[in-house]
Structure 1
Amino acid sequence: MCVARPCVAKSDLETSGDILHIALPAAALASTLVIEDDYQGVWQLAKAGVSSRLVVEALKAGVDKQRPDGSGDDSFPSGHTADSFAAATYINQRYGWEYGVPSYLVASYVAYTRVASDKHHVEDVLAGAAIGILAGWYFTDPYEDISIIPIAYDGTYGVFISGRF
């Protein structure tokens, strides 16, 4: 039911971005629940996602910027992009580049779909990506929690490595 604006069918491109926008954080959550023994990763993902979304919603309320398709004045920043990049950064920070690179590719595709479907301007998705990345970096610790400490004392040199395996 379309009340506030004319009904316009979503393109396949926009729909795919909408699906991946939900699937990436869901995959991060599912992976964390399967891989980890405790809920530390879940808590970190929640903090990154919620803080990112709070910043996005505050900016949307404070910045009056029209969407390219004219459907509203909440174009800046892109929430889809922020959510996707927060999840991708969480995956990268927590589990490494092996999983981070594909996650960033998915997040980048989500950002592309927002611009290509005329929901956002390029600067909207760039701001959303920055917000998501910063939230992910700030709240996420590596899963292995490995510490590498160089040792140089009284003629003894070496490296001390500790962590959970």
Structure 2
Amino acid sequence: MPFLYIWGLYTLALGVLVLRTEKLELHRAMHPVSSPFLDRSMALFTHLADGLVPTAVALMMLLIRDLRSFLMIGLSCGGSAIIVQVLKRSFSHDRPSMYRAELGDMHWVSGIDLHHHLSFPSGHATAAFSMCLALAVLSRRRAWGYALGSLAAILAYTRVYLSQHFTEDILVGAAIGTVTALVVYQWLYRSAFSERSFLDRRLFT
């Protein structure tokens, strides 16, 4: 599946960086360039991984496709979101804004409401990867798999660019979103349950 190639490369690259580089040093290094245009673009683009977007996409699938499509997106995003919230409260890591003095004169995007706590893992990165993988499954086209994998990677990176998360946060969030979506895929498309005829029923015709 092309999406998994993108995720694998993303995980390998970020994993090496996280293991070999001190957290604050890596956060500074993840901001090689900045500009007013990039600031505005990242601040706008990151909202595609807000919780409301996956919800809207899932409901759209219910309207224009079938119950299976709705469940693929809804369970992938909803299930991964629950896992993330449990982990956030278990680890309770601080966000980059709490290390502003240590990060020095690094570029900070103005006009952003910076959060301070519950950094690990990133909910936005999780939502981006679970939603995009679910959509890749539904599209069944290799080109869309590559495109959606790239979109998920960019959406996750916006969280680091905006200093809402550290690199390790988006790395683990991406893994949670991807693995959860894969589990849902196996259940809805490969298990005995997947043969239930009502899953392919269109509720609105």
Q: TM-score, normalised by structure 1?
A: 0.70
Are 2:154 and 1:78 aligned?
no
Q: How many residues align?
A: 135
**C-alpha deviation, 1:32, in angstroms:** 3.0
**C-alpha deviation, 1:102, in angstroms:** 1.6
Higher normalized helix content (fraction of residues)? 2
User: What is the RMSD of the two structures over their aligned residues, measured on CA atoms?
Assistant: 2.7
**C-alpha deviation, 1:26, in angstroms:** 6.0
Which structure would you say has the larger RCO, counting Cα contacts within 8 Å and 6 or more residues apart? 2
**C-alpha deviation, 1:33, in angstroms:** 4.1
**C-alpha deviation, 1:72, in angstroms:** 1.8
Q: Match for residue 12 of structure 2?
A: none
Counterpart Cα distance in 1 of 2:136 and 2:59: 15
Are 2:58 and 1:29 aligned?
yes
Residue deviations 1:100-158, cap 9 Å, x none? 222122211111110111111111000000000011111126x9x69xxxxxxxxxxxx
Are 2:85 and 1:41 aligned?
no
With 86-95 and 46-55 compared, the bigger mean Cα shift is at 86-95
The code of the aligned residue for 1:81 comes to A
Q: Match for residue 99 of structure 1?
A: 144
* Aligned-pair identity (%): 26
**C-alpha deviation, 1:27, in angstroms:** 7.4
Runs of 4+ in 1 over 4 A off after TM superposition: none
Q: Match for residue 61 of structure 1?
A: 89
Q: Match for residue 108 of structure 1?
A: 153
Q: TM-score, normalised by structure 2?
A: 0.57
Q: 1:40 to 1:25 in 2, by over 3 A?
A: same
Q: Match for residue 118 of structure 1?
A: 163
Q: Which runs of 5+ in 2 are unaligned?
A: 1-38, 99-114, 191-199, 201-205
Q: Which runs of 5+ in 1 are unaligned?
A: 1-10, 147-163
The code of the aligned residue for 1:133 comes to T
Higher normalized strand content (fraction of residues)? 1
